[in-house]
Amino acid sequence: MPSYTSKTLLSALAAAASVSAHGHVRNIVINGVSYQNYDPTSFPYMQNPPTVVGWAAGNTDNGFVAPDAFASGDIICHKSAKNAGGHAVVAAGDKIFIQWDTWPESHHGPVLDYLASCGDAGCESVDKTTLEFFKISEVGLVDGTSAPGVWGSDQLIANNNSWMVQIPSNISPGNYVLRHEIIALHSAGQANGAQNYPQCFNLQITGSGTAKPAGTLGTALYKADDAGILANIYTSPVTYEIPGPALIEGAASIEQTSSAITASGTAVTGSATAVPVATTTTAINGGATEVPASPTTTAAAETSTAASSSAADVGATPTSTATAGATAAPVPTRCPGLKKKRSSRRHARDVRRH
């Protein structure tokens, strides 16, 4: 008879196999600065998980939302999702690099991105059921010559399990939820077979845009019998209709490139509408867990106006910041020892002059 220890080990191995079957977003990168996402496989078991820009969710098995839950709040930002405690700052027109921990090759399907305005109160406290999403990016069937076809998900895998999306340059500044989603269609030929994997992040978008597109409630984005949800991808040639609302005016289709990570950004407390303040950043060494720089990278070279100006104020590398607490007063932050470092630099300049 198996011992208690043996049973525990077998259960752990089975859980690990289940978790590795799918995936979740590990982090997002804005102008070279990496922001951690909520990790559903570890954060729920921490006494004090870190404050991050990604929404908390109950998909501890890296699972999915099925079509029979499209009318529930689970489809909005994943199962039992709760507001992220912070947000990242990005300028309209900038690109965001979204890195998944993994994605299985068998899970073919479209990659979709939406935004929804949270209003002046910020996204840290917004009621998710009131969010109205408008679509800013979609890549579905790329080549349907032979089944099961080439899909947006295949491009994501080829790009080191990562996805680049651009914030439309015409978007009005404010607080938004970015809803990033892959819909796996490998079982979608049967009712309730599609698998939706939505992930949400809080953003403060800066800029001079004026567009405030109309959106659709998350619970009304899809129906179980939509052509893009109930779909057979194993009959050649493959045809496909992307589900959900149409792209907004100003949405851009961009090349899937990489973004070099130069620093890490952390969520800090402060007002949701506070002027971005550069925070302590830590350079990240290259390695298997980070996406290497690419000759075709464009996102890391582009800096948002807000991030650049805030970084210049404290003499740091330009970064965007994450901010938590929608109603709290702005809390300026400084790097530990910054005053001392400035004094050292002034002393070095004086020495050179003499």
User: Rounded to the nearest 5 degrees, what angle is found at the Cα of 289, between the Cα atoms of 22 and 37?
Assistant: 60
pLDDT in tens, 226-276: 999 999 999 999 999 999 999 999 998 899 999 999 999 986 445 544 434
- Residue 63: the pLDDT is 94
Q: Structure pTM? A: 0.75
**Sorting pLDDT into bands at 50, 70 and 90, what band is 312?**
very low
Other C-beta atoms within 10 Å of 301: how many? 10
Whether the pLDDT of residue 328 is over 70: the answer is no
pLDDT in tens, 184-205: 999 999 999 999 999 999 999 9
Give the per-residue SS3 of 175-229.
EEEEEEEEEECCCCCCCCCCEEEEEEEEEEEECCCCECCCCEEHHHCCCCCCCCC
Kind and range of the H or E run holding 14: helix 4-21
- Residue 22: the pLDDT is 84
